[in-house]
């Protein structure tokens, strides 16, 4: 059985402070005005679980594959192949960040990937 460490409690406290500070909004989006790589992930997954595939891909072309990557990671973890588990995680993270960069270059400003004009960056500098 795993015992909780001070780091575990620090993570929980940081999470609670972020929620109290930003609400359920993405802190990256709230501060910079630019959607983060994970923005729209919840909406995409909810649409996927409601079998609205086109809407799931509307929000993200990568997140609908998250259950497959997650299942692969669980299988490798159960088989005690932590190296393969990390490789699957890094592959997914690389695809997600690559897709985010693609969207920043080619899709920024179109729904749903729009700039937040109420961001802290705008309020502080303009």
Q: Write down the domain spans for the chain.
A: 6-125
Q: Please say whether the beta carbons of 106 and 112 come within 8 A.
A: no
Q: Mean pLDDT for the chain?
A: 88
| Portion of the chain with pLDDT greater than 90, in percent | 57
In this structure, the chain runs to a length of: 126
- Under DSSP, is residue 113 helix (H, G, I), strand (E, B) or coil? strand
Query: What are the residues facing 110 on neighbouring strands?
Result: 113
- pLDDT tens sequence across 70-94: 999 999 989 999 899 999 999 999 9
Confidence of residue 16 (pLDDT cuts 50, 70, 90): confident
pLDDT score of 23? 63
- pLDDT tens sequence across 20-55: 766 667 888 988 999 999 999 989 999 999 999 999
pLDDT score of 24? 66
Confidence of residue 3 (pLDDT cuts 50, 70, 90): low
The residue whose two tokens read 């588990």 is 85
pLDDT score of 91? 96
């Amino acid at each position: 059985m795993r015992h909780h460490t001070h780091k575990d409690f620090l993570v929980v406290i940081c999470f609670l402070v972020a929620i109290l500070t930003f609400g359920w909004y993405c802190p990256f989006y709230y501060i910079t005005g630019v959607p983060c790589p994970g923005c729209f992930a919840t909406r995409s997954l909810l649409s996927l679980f409601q079998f609205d595939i086109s809407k799931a891909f509307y929000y993200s072309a990568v997140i609908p594959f998250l259950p497959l990557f997650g299942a692969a990671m669980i299988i490798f973890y159960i088989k005690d192949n932590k190296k393969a588990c990390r490789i699957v995680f890094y592959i997914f993270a690389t695809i997600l960040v690559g897709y985010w960069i693609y969207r920043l270059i080619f899709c920024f400003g179109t729904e749903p990937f729009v700039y937040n004009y109420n961001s802290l960056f705008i309020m502080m500098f303009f």
